[in-house]
Amino acid sequence: MKNYPPVSALQMPDRLLLGPGPSNAHPAVLQAMSTPPVGHLDPTFLALMDEIQSLLRYVWQTQNPMTIAVSGTGTAAMEATIANSVQPGDIVCVGVAGYFGNRLVDMARRYGGDVRTISKPWGDVFSLEELRQALETYCPAILALVHAETSTGARQPLEGVGELCREFGCLLLVDTVTSLGGVPIFLDEWGVDLAYSCSQKGLGCSPGASPFTMSPKAWEKLQQRPNKVPNWYLDMTLLGKYWGSERMYHHTAPINLYYGLREALRLIAEEGLENCWQRHQQNAEYLWEQLEMLGLIPHVAREFRLPTLTTVRIPDGVDGKAISGKLLQEYNIEIGGGLGELAGQVWRVGLMGYNSRKESVDRLISALKEVLLR
C-alpha cells in the first residue's frame, strides 16, 4: 500500500464575499450548521422540515402547500422546476435578457419543450405589452421569466404578469435566485405558479438547500402528466411524499445544511420581512452613491436595479480582472466579473443577506478607491 503524503488541517481565508454569490453566512447560521446531525427521518428533523416549509411560504408570500427545499444548489431547484412543469411538446416562452434566461432555454429544450424566446439587451427588462405580444404570438403552456437576473443586476417587474398568464391560460414560472429574501416578492398576489431560489444569496446560508414552490394549478398539471417526470431525484410526486404527511423515504437529506437554512429563515422572520427588504434597499442605495463618488456608473437603470446585486461599468482603460484580483489577494474582498455579453465590461457587486450592511460597503469602497488610485 502506498503511503499518503501528509495533509495539514483545513485552513481557508476569511473573505468578504461581495460577488454574485455565495455571500457570507450569519454567525448564527454557521453555528446551526455545526449542530450534531440526527437521522433524516428522525421526528425532530421532520418537524424542522415543517418549519422550513412554513418559513419559505412566509419569505415568498405564498400559501402553496408544495413548498420545499431541494437537496442541491439553486441550479438543481431550477431544473426541478423545469422537469416537473415541462412536458414534451409544451410550448415554453422564455424571456431572455441575460445569462440565466439562456439557461432556462437550454433546460426546457432538454426536457422536450418547444421553446420560443423573446429577447432584450442585457440589463433591460420586458414591458407588459411586450409580454402580451409574446403570449398572443406563441400561445405557450408556460411563460418563464427571471425576476432577478444575476448576470445583469436587473429586476424584472412582475406586477400584472400573472393576470396576463391567466388570460392566455398559461403557467408563470419565475427565477427568484437573487431576489428571495432581499427583494419584495408576492408570489400569490402576482399569480406566480412556479418559483425557485437558492440558499446562499439573500437568505444568507451555505449553498445546497434550495427553495422550490409550485401552485395548486401547477401541481394539478403535474398530476395529469401521462408519463413519469424524467428526473427521478427531482420528481415532486416523490419528493412530496417525503416532505408531506406520508414521510416516505426518498433520499438522505443534507441535514446540517437544512439546519442552516432553517436558522437563516428564522433570522429573516425575526427581523421582519419588510424590514429585511428595506435594509437591502437602503444599503444598495448607499453603495450606488459611493460608487458614483468614485466616478463609477451602474449598468442598469435605477428603477430596475436589484438591491441585492449591482453591475458596475468598468471604466475605459481599466483592467477589470486585475482590479478584482487585487481586491481578493490584498484585501480579502471578492467581487464578480461579467458573464456572457457583459464579460469584461462590468463588475458584479452583491449585498445579500448578512452581507447587506453599511460596513460591507465602506470596506469595499475604501479598498476599491486605493486600488483604482494606483
48 lies in some domain = yes
Predicted pLDDT at 351: 98
Band the pLDDT of 2: cuts 50, 70, 90.
Answer: confident
The residue among 269, 302, 323 that closes a domain is 269
Q: What is the pTM of this model?
A: 0.96
Asked whether residue 128 falls in the same domain as residue 256, the answer is: yes
DSSP readout, 6-75?
Answer: P-PPP-----EE-SSS--PPPHHHHHHHTSPP--TT-HHHHHHHHHHHHHHHHHHT---SEEEEEEB-HH
Asked whether residue 289 falls in the same domain as residue 218, the answer is: no
Is the pLDDT at 3 greater than 90, yes or no?
A: no
Asked whether residue 277 falls in the same domain as residue 228, the answer is: no
Predicted pLDDT at 1: 77
Is the pLDDT at 20 greater than 90, yes or no?
A: yes
Asked whether residue 279 falls in the same domain as residue 243, the answer is: no
Is the pLDDT at 296 greater than 80, yes or no?
A: yes
Predicted pLDDT at 175: 98
Grid cell at residue 51? 418549519
**What pLDDT digit, counting tens, does each position of 349-360 carry?**
999 999 999 999
Mean pLDDT of the region 333-361: 97
Asked whether residue 281 falls in the same domain as residue 253, the answer is: no
Predicted pLDDT at 241: 97
Residue type at 111 in one-letter notation? Y
Asked whether residue 160 falls in the same domain as residue 291, the answer is: no
DSSP readout, 106-128?
Answer: HHHHHTT-EEEEEE--BTB---H
**How many structural domains is the chain composed of?**
2
Nearest in space to 147 (alpha carbons), one of 113, 173, 170, 181: 173
Asked whether residue 183 falls in the same domain as residue 319, the answer is: no
CATH of the domain at 293: 3.90.1150.10
The residue among 243, 269, 295 that closes a domain is 269
Asked whether residue 167 falls in the same domain as residue 44, the answer is: yes
Please tell me whether residue 143 adopts helix, strand or coil conformation. Answer: strand
Is the pLDDT at 197 greater than 80, yes or no?
A: yes
- Give me the domain span that covers residue 61: 27-269
- For 121-199, where are the alpha helices, taking DSSP H only? 128-138, 161-168, 187-190
* Residue 72 β-bridge partners: 209
CA terminus-to-terminus distance, the chain: 54
Predicted pLDDT at 373: 87
What span, in angstroms and rounded, lies between the C-alpha atoms of 164 and 155?
Answer: 19
**What pLDDT digit, counting tens, does each position of 112-141 carry?**
999 999 999 999 999 999 999 999 999 999
Asked whether residue 252 falls in the same domain as residue 341, the answer is: no
Q: In what order do the strands lie in the sheet with 309-313?
A: 309-313, 346-350, 336-337
4 lies in some domain = no
What span, in angstroms and rounded, lies between the C-alpha atoms of 54 and 111?
Answer: 30
Q: How far is CA 362 from CA 15, 19, 135, 324, in A?
A: 15, 15, 45, 16
Predicted pLDDT at 269: 98
Cβ atoms of 85 and 79 within 8 Å: the answer is: no
Asked whether residue 295 falls in the same domain as residue 147, the answer is: no
CATH of the domain at 98: 3.40.640.10
Predicted pLDDT at 7: 87
Is the pLDDT at 374 greater than 90, yes or no?
A: no
Asked whether residue 70 falls in the same domain as residue 199, the answer is: yes
Nearest in space to 200 (alpha carbons), one of 2, 12, 26, 83: 26
Asked whether residue 323 falls in the same domain as residue 249, the answer is: no
**What pLDDT digit, counting tens, does each position of 28-78 carry?**
999 999 999 999 999 999 999 999 999 999 999 999 999 999 999 999 999
Residues 6+ apart with CB under 8 A from 295: 315
Is the pLDDT at 6 greater than 90, yes or no?
A: no
HSE (CB half, 13 Å, CA atoms) of 81?
38
Mean pLDDT of the region 187-194: 98
340 lies in some domain = yes
The residue among 221, 247, 269 that closes a domain is 269
Cβ atoms of 338 and 9 within 8 Å: the answer is: no
